[in-house]
Amino acid sequence: MSKEITITAANFDSEVAKASVPVLLDFWAAWCGPCKMIAPFIEQIADEYDGKIKVGKINVDEENELALKHSVSSIPTLAVYKNGELVFTQAGALPKNQIENLIKQYI
């Protein structure tokens, strides 16, 4: 079972801003090919790093306000929060090892 959390405007503060561990956010949409390509990597990372990081998925079609707040103009976009602060954001599909290298610096 995947450890990914669906992030919404309603739970953003409790799940991301007040998280006790770094949070990797995946901004995605069902129609996005590159989003589908990295989805298995995001799920694997959520499982493999459970307890060290939290992984959240934000559907930009359903949570447009969160996408606008994060200036998401293309998807997939990955964002990392640590101690309630946005510390990294990058648009585009990445291979699993690059996503892992990205989060390791914040663990």
Closest CA to 74 of 60, 58, 88: 60
86 is in which domain, residue-wise? 5-104
- For every residue of 72-95, DSSP letters joined together read --SSSEEEEEETTEEEEEEES---
Contact 58, 7 (CB under 8 A): yes
Count of the separate structural domains present in the chain: 1
pLDDT digits (tens, 9 = 90+) for 62-76: 999 999 999 999 999
Q: Is residue 30 scored above 90 in pLDDT?
A: yes
Asked if pLDDT for residue 1 goes beyond 60, the answer is: no
CATH code for the domain in which residue 49 is found? 3.40.30.10
Q: What is the pLDDT of residue 2?
A: 64
pLDDT of 89 > 60? The answer is yes
User: Taking Cα atoms as reference points, which of 45, 69, 67, 66 lies closest to residue 55?
Assistant: 45
The residues assigned a catalytic role are: 32, 35
Read off the pLDDT of residues 2-29 as tens digits, 9 standing for 90 and up. 689 999 999 999 999 999 999 999 999 9
